[in-house]
Amino acid sequence: MCITAHFICTDWKLHKRVISFPMLPCPHTSKTISDAIYANLLGWNISDRIGTLTLDNTSNNDVCASRLKDQLFGHDMLSRELFHLRCNAHITNLLVKDGLKHVESSLENIRESVRHVKYSLSKLQKVFKTCQSLNMKEKRLPMVIQTRWNSTYLMLEAAIPYQKVFDLFFYDSDFAYKPDLVDWQNAIVIKDFFEIFYVSTKLFSCSNYVTSSTFCFQLSKIVLILKRVENVPSFKPLYDSIKWKYDKYWKDVPMLLGLASCMDPRFKFTVLELCLDFNYDYDSQPQPESQSPSISNENPWLLPYKTKLNELFEVYLQKMSSGVTGMNGTSSNAPQEEDMVLAMLSKRREAAIKKCKFELQRYLDQPTIITSNETFDVLDWWRTQASTYHVLSAMARDLLTIPVSTVPSESVFSRSERVVSKCRSCLLPETVEALMCLKDWFQAEEGLQDEDLTELEEIMGEMEL
């Protein structure tokens, strides 16, 4: 089992470290897993500093998270509610793998044509000559690997620009799988459809930048691509399969990720509201009966998120207030001047706390920032605004730390080292754990944790769900 800690330092830089790689005793029950995690948190002395736990999407892990809530939070309902997050990269893979089953036949001719060319050097050379005659750049044609759904997308991405090349190559051929115009048209739709999932999974799975604040933005793009094929008869089975899974996991946007989206000054509540509009207007769901006429113009599905955001802000405000209260007590032996200074400092801090009460509303009332999504650094924005939003910046720091995927913890393995080698299998479990942790720490220091994107893509495609 791999346990990874994600945290934002005082310099507002996101960090990720593998802190444990223990060998779990069999059977791998929820109790075994939760006990191992809890023991590790105690060993690092961070059991009182854990906010969220992201786990793979299995029922066993749901029970594990429930046990950890009891151990860490007791009856603290807010902390319990905001503790567990399912791995969204695994959920994305579930959606895609189910959907691909319904379009395999549409892609058969193109897939077999690529295989036919790749397996023969002479045919591959002929394809390259055809490219030259059309003034097209030669490009590697990847094969479809059954255990990696992303290989289908990559194959289509590479093959579609070569449509004319394949048409000329198979013009006088009796090859049984010659793709026709309909095959290519279907391939373009399928490629565009799965591109959103491919890009989203890559974004969800990186650990060197914030992923929680952009989840709702990616989710809205997934809904739009679903809408595009909703009424296309040939893609109805694909749509139905993915939409059913989407509703199961994402129709109710995870509370944690909805709140994290609000902490992005580009989005605040706008993108979350857009997602909820998509999710519920999509099915023409009636509005909740509890909706008050006085707020009829407000999205009723957004209210739980606004309520929870205010509750969470009050918790952070209370933490700061408790620091002020602690300053009020003075020793009876202290000089009178010292008492006066402490009293004045306490009053100033109390005034600051009163001012902080309006930070959340002040932040939400400001217009959203219009900027390039590719260059915007949400952590750097909060770093520059920390003096303006004393309490809110602390809350934002914790919400933006949350990883939406467990894939980065899996990427500590390289392609050839995902199984412990024979020469290392005789090592003590503690030695293997130390080696894996040190490898990750050294890579983090050198900025190499997310460098090999190809490796990450293969890990994404190989996930067993």
Element spanning 19, H or E: strand 14-20
Domain assignment present for 138? no
Tens of pLDDT, residues 395-428: 999 999 999 998 754 443 333 345 555 566 677 8
Token pair of 297 as six digits: 């113009």
Element spanning 305, H or E: helix 303-328
How many distinct structural domains can be found in the chain? 1
- Encode 346-400 in three state secondary structure: HHHHHHHHHHHCCHHHHHHHCCCCCCCCCCCCHHHHHHHHCCCCHHHHHHHHHHH
Q: How confident is the model at residue 7 (pLDDT cuts 50, 70, 90)?
A: very high
Q: How confident is the model at residue 27 (pLDDT cuts 50, 70, 90)?
A: confident
pLDDT value at residue 347 = 65
Q: What is the pTM of this model?
A: 0.82
Tens of pLDDT, residues 350-359: 666 666 788 9
Lowest mean pLDDT among 74-78, 212-216, 228-232, 412-416: 412-416
pLDDT value at residue 421 = 59
Domain assignment present for 309? no
pLDDT value at residue 293 = 39
Alpha-carbon distance of 317 to 330, in angstroms, equals: 23
Whether 334 has a pLDDT exceeding 60, the answer reads no
Domain assignment present for 121? no
Domain assignment present for 111? no
Q: How confident is the model at residue 290 (pLDDT cuts 50, 70, 90)?
A: very low
Tens of pLDDT, residues 164-197: 988 888 887 878 888 999 999 999 999 999 999 9
Element counts in the chain: helices (H) and strands (E): 21, 4
Token pair of 413 as six digits: 């393995």
Alpha-carbon distance of 175 to 192, in angstroms, equals: 27
Find the distance separating the first CA and the last CA of the chain, reported in whole Å.
Answer: 16
pLDDT value at residue 214 = 94
Torsion of the alpha carbons at 425, 427, 430 and 431, rounded to the nearest 10: -110
Q: How confident is the model at residue 42 (pLDDT cuts 50, 70, 90)?
A: very high
Tens of pLDDT, residues 222-250: 999 998 888 888 889 999 999 999 999 99
Better-scored residue on pLDDT, 140 or 324: 140
pLDDT value at residue 150 = 84
**How far is C-alpha 85 from the geometric centre of its chain's CA atoms?**
10
Alpha-carbon distance of 463 to 465, in angstroms, equals: 6
Whether 107 has a pLDDT exceeding 70, the answer reads yes
Other C-beta atoms closer than 10 Å to the C-beta of 465 total 12
pLDDT value at residue 283 = 47
Lowest mean pLDDT among 153-167, 212-226, 295-309: 295-309
Q: Burial code of 216-230, b = ≥16 C-beta within 10 A, e = fewer?
A: bbbbbebbebbeebe
Structural domain boundaries, residue 79: 1-86+412-448
Query: Are the C-beta atoms of 126 and 132 separated by less than 8 Å?
Result: no
Domain assignment present for 225? no
Domain assignment present for 101? no
State the pairing for strand pair 53-55/3-8.
Answer: unpaired
> Which amino acid appears at position 263 of this protein?
M
Domain assignment present for 263? no
Better-scored residue on pLDDT, 299 or 298: 299
Domain assignment present for 219? no
